[in-house]
A and B are shown apart, each in its own frame.
Chain A
């Protein structure tokens, strides 16, 4: 693969005792090369950040270090000595602890009981509890971890539950702590609390490895940072020598042959107008913060951003999958507000098609034959039924045509859907949603997990739909895809739209900075945001 790797510095130079060294770690899952000869050194008593896009191999790497997976090749050294880590127990013995993104706590147990899980200290609990309480109280004091030991975990909020996880790792003697996206579920004040705790841990000589998407946090708390892209370490920096922009560029990377965008026809009337749209999740965290934009007939508006920065919530709110709490949108002559919501069935009747990001979980029912999935969402179509009876023959015939038209292979409408490859399932879904001639298409990750040939095919189809005067909102984690297809680009960071660019003004560096939430130099480069929004007219 010919790639121009961004200027990468060698790992931090100062000598120092390394808490963990990964040497040439290589891991494949079937055809997926998750880690490519990754080498990484973590200095003892430091906070080391690990950044990269979804699927860059961060979690695989950490899972190998913690013993969930075995590397195909490579070595792990802990405190300079080679370590064999076959299962998490080995990692724990070596003083490595992990705090997962989704907490591994027994909700019905108290904090103390959770801390003691797997370390009960004998068959009778009484002594164990007394000893544990003393030890945990000492740890709490040392690291200023404020946790009510006798409260039930279910009654604690997320930030405190996370502290319980950290305490659990410390209680088991963790010297090296792996945190997998620790701030993903936290509110800003909770993030501050977490950072205070991490500071205290570092001051006491513990080592922390932190996976995150958020570059601001890297800059705020880490000593060193490594960037993974497509399974390989593409850059390592001392944090003080780098910047968010440089990290963003390293994360996103550049390819040698960027696809050239075909200019579109001048955009027509707005088909989708979104005003101040906000989504608050069940934990009370605001996931989408006041999105305002328009999509016109005959244009593709791309939404760029590191995964998990509000793009999914945007798609889900617009397609009627999740309720939203503030704002409104106007789509195809219908005004949708929190008080007058629109469900997915109504959305389809309104001429809105939705290709969800998570195709396997949402867009198809895997055990059904393909022709039944070709009807999913359009089961009320009177053309496919005679009265109450669904005419499967007619559905299968229509599916056969769809498969021909969208090059779905094999062309077997009655084959079980799970037996098609990911790319062919995606073509089936895209075909289903686009064949019915919707006015507005909401599409998430249209080419995720799809082979190169199918990617080109899908891109051509999206552009053809645009040229037919439809409005397309495209969410993709592939910046290249966004730049190849979009007439305008919205960039999201932390739930908010941080920039709106006309395609001609966009470049990867600029988008990368916006993805990192750096907006202060925007004015000079593209003019105020309102201008950019109007500029496409």
Chain B
């Protein structure tokens, strides 16, 4: 039913699968050259990286744990993008959202996790939403560019958290700028607890129930963007603001609401990181997830399925990279960042670099395929 080619004639499967695979391959080739340059064997290093990421239950669990946060921030970037907004503020929204989640967990000591979770999710979403909504409002009603304001809000979030964790929220009698630990009853069940309930024994692993929440959010975003009136409105505003006005849509409200939802999604990172793993509010717990979410959304082409898949890839890069720098003394954690950067470069910024070449290669087949359909 749907058209199977893009406007330039490249088959859909090539756009969705082949092109990302080629981009990833190119990134690995360049990464190999870098590893080669520091005198290591790229094949064994990369193989070790892959094994570290998915080769064991422990590795896989870490990969999925990283992917969980990236799904939240990737969805956040994507939904803003559909409304024509480049939300660079996922980092700050995640940070402040985590504050909301953390405050709830601190306040509801003694409540069971399943009673806390709805409140902490709501609080995380709400805090994140406010942090996204203000730049959205400034963009819609004051014309302040969203890229600038969201960056500024990242700094504001940072300053706010440093103040709170260094003062009002610091654990009494401690030096480290972090809150006291949440009550154990509020901890989200992780792999170990879930496995124990099913009669298995596992080590303590970070992967927790928030992965389910992230997948639910992905489904929700998919429904919202493509199957609701509001999503239609948002996509119209993002694609053609003049047409949106013609259609009687309020672009300003749409922009503000889109940014609020975007911020809310990013704000859920704290569920995974704080209620799920760290069990206290810590400094910089979001650790760049907001920024990596931009690459995730780009690579996932703004579609929730793509975002889940690219979150897995980036989760694997985080985990594999960490293993790699443990194993190889010569490969510092910084090099791992380089590898991640190269992947982002090829699959995000240079996304369409191989498109013309691929088009030349595949073009002769395209008319024949069209002829068959006719």
Contacts and interface: CB of A to CB of B under 8 A. Distances in A.
A101 interface: no
A369 B7 CA distance: 12
Given A345-B248, A361-B242, A379 B3 contact: no
A354 B242 CA distance: 14
A380 interface: yes
Contacts of A346: 248
Contacts of B223: 389
A409 interface: no
A363 B247 CA distance: 8
Interface residues of A, number: 36
A419 interface: yes
A385 B2 contact: no
A365 B2 contact: no
A414 B3 contact: yes
A383 to B, nearest CB: 13
A363 B232 contact: no
A347 B2 CA distance: 33
Given A379-B229, A390-B232, A414-B2, A367 B247 contact: no
B236 A416 contact: no
Given A379-B247, A414-B1, A419-B7, A367 B242 contact: no
Interface string A348-381: 1000001010000111111111001001110110
A389 B1 CA distance: 21
Contacts of A361: 240, 242-243
Interface centre among B7, B227, B245, B248 (most CB of A within 10 A): B248
Contacts of B7: 416, 418-419
B200 interface: no
B286 interface: no
A348 B236 CA distance: 18
A205 to B, nearest CB: 46
Nearest to A361: B242
B228 interface: yes
Contacts of B246: 321, 344, 354, 356, 362-363, 376-377
B233 A379 contact: yes
Interface residues of B, number: 22
Contacts of A414: 1-3
Contacts of B227: 389-390, 392
Contacts of A390: 227-229, 232
Contacts of B233: 379
A119 interface: no
Contacts of A281: none
A90 interface: no
Nearest to B374: A410
Given A361-B243, A392-B227, 16 more contacts: A321-B245, A321-B246, A344-B245, A344-B246, A344-B247, A354-B246, A364-B243, A365-B239, A365-B240, A369-B2, A375-B232, A377-B246, A379-B247, A388-B230, A414-B1, A416-B3
Given A348-B248, A416-B7, A418-B7, A389 B243 contact: no
Nearest to B224: A388
Nearest to A345: B248
Top 3 nearest A-B pairs (CB, nearest first) are A345-B248, A377-B247, A344-B248
B228 A388 contact: yes
Nearest to B2: A414
A430 to B, nearest CB: 14
Nearest to B247: A377
A388 B232 CA distance: 11
A464 interface: no
Contacts of B230: 388
Nearest to B236: A365
A176 B246 CA distance: 43
19 contacts: A320-B248, A343-B248, A344-B245, A347-B248, A361-B242, A362-B242, A363-B243, A364-B243, A368-B235, A375-B232, A377-B248, A379-B247, A389-B223, A389-B227, A390-B227, A392-B227, A412-B3, A416-B7, A419-B7
Given A379-B233, A414-B3, A416-B7, A389 B228 contact: yes
Nearest to A367: B239
A376 B239 CA distance: 13
Contacts of A363: 243, 246
Contacts of B242: 361-362
A415 interface: yes
Contacts of A365: 235-236, 239-240, 243
A379 B223 CA distance: 16
A301 to B, nearest CB: 22
Interface string A328-348: 000000000000000111111
Contacts of A343: 248
Interface string A306-321: 0000000000000011
Interface in B223-263: 223, 227-230, 232-233, 235-236, 239-240, 242-243, 245-249
A357 to B, nearest CB: 11
Interface in A389-415: 389-390, 392, 412, 414-415
Contacts of A376: 236, 243, 246-247
Nearest to B226: A392
Interface string B22-55: 0000000000000000000000000000000000
A362 B243 contact: yes
A379 B232 contact: yes
